[in-house]
Amino acid sequence: MVERILEVERLSVDIQVPAGMLRAVQGIDFHVDRGETLCIVGESGCGKSITALSLMNLLPSSAIRSANKLELDGQDIRNLDERKMSDLRGDRIAMIFQEPMTSLNPAYTIGNQLEEAMLRHRNVSRSEARDRAVFLLEKVGITGARGRLKQYPHQLSGGLRQRVMIAMSLMCGPDLIIADEPTTALDVTIQAQILHLLADLQREFNMSLILITHDLGIVARVADRVAVMYAGEFVETGSADEVFNRPSHPYTQGLLNCIPIPGKTKRGAHLGAIPGIVPSLIGYMEGCHFASRCQFAQDDCLRGDIAFRDAAKGGHEYRCVLSPAETARNIKKASAA
């Protein structure tokens, strides 16, 4: 029996901006089981980071969150007050941010920050917390962990800082880690190491991971399940295998065609492109959000709410007016042209 760690239904985030109401997230549904990795992938401005912040209730004050269901391990966290929520943060849910330099406090030592992360939530002595910090620093592959405790964040390289951030997020043994672009600021070789590490730790501690990224390469390698986000909505969800091998939404297909793959894409050939740009999310938008850029768009795309449909059994769904058969035909036509 799988244990459901997070269950989200109709999550929406509206942000008041001078030009009007920015509908950053528009009713998304998802869930994460224990030990599972869910990747939310999308381009900048699609609402993926806002989604992460809204789960942690760390949204700016101008934002309004609403949801039909927001349950962490069966507990409704929609109406928790700030004090109860901050008890959860760092304890049951932890977050890893993109820029490790700004998410560590430069005025305190690594050790201090790691210990505080535990002392805040657990009734333990400082020396117990220190032991845990050393244990975790070694776990994340930092050598000479005891000596590192006395160092300040600026004495570490970007890769090491991100390892420290990961260790910090693990201090209380959370059920769920939300990682928002954890490797975007890092070099490719370091990125591979950090992702490897995250996957290892996740298996070892049987945690759930929500990884938010724009990099389809990372998603393909790390995810159990994928949610492709576009303009505030999920447009396709399913297992990584299904989504990458049988992309069904025109946006997912377009994205995958944009990336050159060494050894597969013909060198120097034209890459696929998605014309146009992301629509403004201010105000109400009817129909499919991708219609303005979609090469298969038809009149039906502009009416009402486009429903999810099954691409295959096992939870591979996409939000499009085209049936799987039509989609397959379109792909064939496009590749022939």
Partner 1 sequence: MNKPVIEVADATKTFMVSAGFMRGKMPLHAVNGVSVEVQQGEVLGIVGESGCGKTTLARMMLGLLDPTSGAIKVNGQPVHEVDRLEVARQLQPIFQDPYSSLNPRKSIGDIVTLPLKVQGDPDPGTWKSRAEEMMELVGLPRRVYNNYPSQLSGGQRQRVAIARALINRPQIVICDEPTSALDVSVQSQILNLLQDLRKEFGLTYIIISHNLAVVEHMATRVAVMYLGRIVEQADTESLFSSPKHPYTEALLGSVLTPEPGLGVPDTHLGAAYPNPIDPPSGCTFHPRCAKVMDRCSKQFPPIIPTKGGFVECHLYADDVKPGKVATTRRRTAAAKAKTGRAATVRKTTRKRTSASKGK
Partner 2 sequence: MTDATIGRASIPTAQEILEPSPGAMLRRRIFGHAGIVIGGFVLLVIVLMAVFASVISPGDPYDQVLDRKLIPPIWTDSPKATWDHPFGTDALGRDYLTRLFYGAQISLLIGFSAMLISGVIGTTLGVLAGYYGGRVDMVVNFILTTRLSMPVILVALAVVSLIGSSLTVVIWVLGLLIWDRFAVVMRSATQQIRSLEFVSAAQALGCSKTRIILSEIMPNIANHLIVVATLEMAHAILLEAALSFLGLGVQPPEPSWGLMVSEAKGLMFFDAWLITIPGAAIFALVLSINLLGDGIRDVTAPENRN
**What residues line the site for partner 1 (CB under 8 A)?**
43-44, 141-143, 157, 159-160, 163, 187-193, 195-196, 199, 214-223, 240-241, 243-245, 254-265, 267-268, 270-274, 277
Phi, psi values for residue 34, rounded to 5°: -65, 135
**Interacting span for partner 2 (CB under 8 A) from 112-120, 245-253, 277-285, 324-332:** 277-285
Q: Of 271 and 277, which CB lies nearer to partner 2 in the complex structure?
A: 277
> In this structure, how many other beta carbons lie within 10 angstroms of the beta carbon of residue 51?
26
Q: Is 105 helix (H, G, I), strand (E, B) or coil?
A: coil
∠ CA 194-47-172, rounded to 5° = 45
Task: Decide: is 330 part of the binding site for partner 2 (CB under 8 A).
Answer: no
Beta-carbon contacts of residue 294 (< 8 Å; ≥ 6 apart): 250, 251, 288, 301
Binding string, residues 137-176; x marks residues near partner 2 by CB under 8 A: ----------------------------------------
Helix axes 158-170, 188-205, angle to 10 degrees: 10
Other beta carbons within 10 angstroms of residue 14's beta carbon come to: 18
Considering only the stretches 154-162, 237-245, 275-283, 308-316, report the one whose residues sit in contact with partner 2 under the rule CB under 8 A. Answer: 275-283
Nearest distance in Å: CB 288, partner 1: 17
- Footprint of partner 2 on residues 80-99 (CB under 8 A)? none
61 binds partner 2 (CB under 8 A): no
Are the beta carbons of 237 and 317 closer than 8 angstroms?
Answer: yes
Question: Smallest distance, Å, CB 270 to partner 1?
Answer: 5
Helical axes 250-258 vs 324-336, angle rounded to 10°:
30
As measured in angstroms, the least distance from the Cβ of 223 to partner 1 is 8
- Amino acid, res. 317: E
User: Does position 291 bind partner 2 by CB under 8 A?
Assistant: yes
How far is residue 140's CA from residue 246's CA, in Å, rounded to a whole number? 35
Measured between alpha carbons, how far is 105 from 275 in angstroms, rounded to an integer? Answer: 42
CB nearer partner 1, residue 93 or residue 186 = 186
Residue 270's binding partner out of partner 1, partner 2, none, with CB under 5 to 8 Å set by partner kind? partner 1
For position 68 contacting partner 2 by CB under 8 A, the verdict is: no
Q: What are phi and psi of 257, to 5 degrees?
A: -75, -15
User: How far apart, in whole angstroms, are the C-alpha atoms of residue 298 and residue 295?
Assistant: 9
Interface residue with partner 2 among 85, 297, 328, 334 (CB under 8 A) is 297
Taking the least distance from each CB to partner 2, the nearer of 178 and 294 is 294
DSSP string of 271-295, one letter each residue = PP---S-PPP-BS---S-TTGGG-T
CB nearer to partner 1: pick between 59 and 331: 331
Residue 102 contacts partner 2 per CB under 8 A: no
Cα–Cα separations (whole angstroms), residue 328 to 302, 316, 333: 22, 15, 9
- Of these, 81, 299, 313, 335, which contacts partner 2 (CB under 8 A)? 299
Give the count of residues interacting with partner 2 (CB under 8 A): 18
Stretch of 107-115, 145-153, 199-207, 284-292 contacting partner 2, by CB under 8 A: 284-292
326 binds partner 2 (CB under 8 A): no
Q: State the Cα angle at 37 between 72 and 263, rounded to 5°.
A: 160
Options 17, 58, 271, 312; binder of partner 2; rule CB under 8 A: 17
Closest CA to 208 of 169, 175, 163, 165: 175
List contacts with partner 2 (CB under 8 A).
Answer: 17-18, 276-280, 287, 291-293, 295-299, 301-302
